[in-house]
Amino acid sequence: MSHTAYSQHFAQELDFKQLLKRRGVTASLEQVDYGLSQAERDWMRSDLLCPSCRCGGASLVRSDANGTGRNTRQAHFRFIDASGHTAHKLGCDFFAMDDVPGVQRGVDVQFSANDKDTKVIRELVCKAIAIGELSKPAIFEMRSWFLAQRDADAFEVKGTPAVADWLWSINRLQIYEALEFQPFHLIFPGFDTRRAALRDLAFYYRDFVKRIPRIGFDAAVRDRTKRILMANQGQRLIAMEPLRSRYEMTARLAGLMAAYGNLSLTRRRSLGSIYGDTPEALLAFTATLLFVSHWDENAALGRFAKIIAAATPDDLTLGNVIGLNPFHDFAALEVARFIAGLAPPSERAYDFEAELAGAIAKINAARG
Ligand SMILES: [Zn+2]
């Protein structure tokens, strides 16, 4: 599901309020179908495209947010083919979200979750378009390039959500000094059994954790990975690794732009990650600037300097570029790809608590 759709008629990306306003249609928010006529629905289906992969089959649906108390009812666009399945191209950001027929509820769309960030980025994109540093065709060209890149490489999804939980715990061990337990450690006055057990596990997994993809593996990535594993078992998804150098460049420049531009964005800090401080919403904009600058960081930063100095245009609908972030789900897809290469859950128990209990038991046994 996407909060926006690309209108061929209006030649821009619109959310449902902007769309209905332009169409001169009033919707009843209380009704599940918004009280839209069949003719209006048919028009939408023929005109609207996915903002990411440009597939058709659009319909306006309502999803109830998951008990956060905010925005309990949100309008989304779904893109479904004649057989009732996802119409998105493989690799589209919205592919998995629209895969199950029937309205999904409680789906969180990460990059649209924060309205404040979206507003800041929308303004920047509008300015960029107004002064000619970005253009609609360039944005579309970037999406095509990216989907082609993603189509070129894929992996088969394997493993269970429990493996993702386990891997997250193992990755987290890196915050402890890796130290193999020795019975003489018990004489230290500051010895702490649980901590020593975690250090012992960190030592045991010290080579393994080096193989885990270098991404910001926080709880949000873990949960997103679990959803990917549940929804796409046995299917082929995009391997992101070939795009890593561009992703890293994007993340680095995004962080720089947030700092130099003094942008008031939400910060996401994750454990042991070099991109932990990169505001998610800024990645899309940064990637586009880099793309039109032929992946030259200085050229992109130069464009950003002009954009920052520009006046804010009146029409902010130009800046709807929700489906723009090519690296959306980079981290979760990388974790899923890594999990696909591990021994299957039928061959070993992925139970971190049991392993920790074992390490504690080993220490207690040394106490005698
Ligand atoms: Zn799509």
Rounded CA-CA distance 73/125 in Å is 27
Which whole-number Å values give the CA distances from 94 to 14, 115, 248, 316, in the listed order?
16, 19, 23, 24
Whole-number Å distance, alpha carbon 95 to ligand 1 midpoint, is 6
Whole-number Å distance, alpha carbon 55 to ligand 1 midpoint, is 6
- Own/partner long-range contacts of 182-185 (Cβ < 8 Å, ≥24 apart): 183/366
Whole-number Å distance, alpha carbon 125 to ligand 1 midpoint, is 21
Could you give the angle at the alpha carbon of 280 between the alpha carbons of 252 and 166, nearest 5°? 95
The three state secondary structure string of the chain is CECEEEECCCCEEEEHHHHHHHHCCCCCCCCCCCCCCHHHHHHHHHHEECCCCCCCCEEEEEEECCCCCCCCEEEEEEEECCCCCECCCCCCCCCHHHCCCCCCCCCCCHHHCCHHHHHHHHHHHHHHHHCCCCCHHHHHHHHHHHHHHHHCCEEECCCCHHHHHHHHHHHHHHHCCCCCCCHHHHHCCCCCHHHHHHHHHHHHCCCHHHHCCCCCCCHHHHHHHHHHHHHCCCCEEECCHHHHHHHHHHHHHHHHHHHHCCCCCCCCCCCCCCCCCCCHHHHHHHHHHHHHCCCCHHHHHHHHHHHHHCCCCCCHHHHCCHHHCCCCCHHHHHHHHHHHCCCCCCCCCCCHHHHHHHHHHHHHHHHC
Residues 164, 334 contacting (CB under 8 angstroms): no
Instruction: Identify the pLDDT of residue 117.
Output: 73
* The total number of structural domains that make up the chain: 2
Instruction: Identify the pLDDT of residue 279.
Output: 61
Whole-number Å distance, alpha carbon 41 to ligand 1 midpoint, is 19
Rounded CA-CA distance 79/94 in Å is 9
Whole-number Å distance, alpha carbon 323 to ligand 1 midpoint, is 8
In the sheet that holds 48-49, the strands lie side by side as 12-15, 4-7, 48-49
Q: Are residues 87 and 162 in the same domain?
A: no
Whole-number Å distance, alpha carbon 299 to ligand 1 midpoint, is 30
Q: Are residues 103 and 115 in the same domain?
A: no
Tell which of 74, 108, 142 closes a domain: 108
Q: Are residues 60 and 172 in the same domain?
A: no
Tell which of 85, 108, 131 closes a domain: 108
Residues 7, 15 contacting (CB under 8 angstroms): no
Instruction: Identify the pLDDT of residue 64.
Output: 57
Whole-number Å distance, alpha carbon 221 to ligand 1 midpoint, is 21
Whole-number Å distance, alpha carbon 51 to ligand 1 midpoint, is 7
Whole-number Å distance, alpha carbon 93 to ligand 1 midpoint, is 6
pLDDT by residue for the chain (368 residues), tens only, comes to 788 888 989 888 888 888 999 999 888 777 777 888 899 999 999 999 988 778 899 988 876 544 444 444 567 888 988 877 788 876 676 765 555 443 332 233 333 444 677 778 888 888 998 899 988 778 778 877 877 877 778 889 999 999 999 999 999 999 999 999 999 999 999 999 999 999 999 999 999 999 999 888 988 889 989 988 988 888 888 888 888 898 889 888 988 898 899 887 766 543 334 444 566 667 878 888 999 999 999 999 999 999 999 998 887 766 665 445 677 778 899 999 999 999 999 999 999 999 999 999 999 999 98
Q: Are residues 34 and 123 in the same domain?
A: no
Instruction: Identify the pLDDT of residue 42.
Output: 93
Q: Are residues 60 and 198 in the same domain?
A: no
Instruction: Identify the pLDDT of residue 225.
Output: 92
Rounded CA-CA distance 143/293 in Å is 15
Instruction: Identify the pLDDT of residue 272.
Output: 36
Whole-number Å distance, alpha carbon 59 to ligand 1 midpoint, is 13
Structural domain for 265, as ranges: 110-368
Q: How many residues are present in the chain?
A: 368
Residues 55, 49 contacting (CB under 8 angstroms): yes
Q: Are residues 56 and 141 in the same domain?
A: no
What residues are paired with 79 via a beta bridge?
A: 58
Q: Are residues 98 and 78 in the same domain?
A: yes
HSE, side-chain direction, 13 A CA sphere, residue 158? 12
Q: Are residues 87 and 165 in the same domain?
A: no
Whole-number Å distance, alpha carbon 87 to ligand 1 midpoint, is 7
Q: Are residues 87 and 208 in the same domain?
A: no
The residue among 242, 225, 244 whose CA lies nearest residue 340 is 225
Whole-number Å distance, alpha carbon 30 to ligand 1 midpoint, is 27
Whole-number Å distance, alpha carbon 353 to ligand 1 midpoint, is 39
Q: Are residues 53 and 116 in the same domain?
A: no
Rounded CA-CA distance 68/72 in Å is 8
Q: Are residues 146 and 261 in the same domain?
A: yes
Tell which of 108, 143, 161 closes a domain: 108
Whole-number Å distance, alpha carbon 48 to ligand 1 midpoint, is 11
Rounded CA-CA distance 359/175 in Å is 17
Instruction: Identify the pLDDT of residue 90.
Output: 65
Q: Are residues 87 and 146 in the same domain?
A: no
Query: Sign of torsion, CA 231 236 241 242?
Result: negative
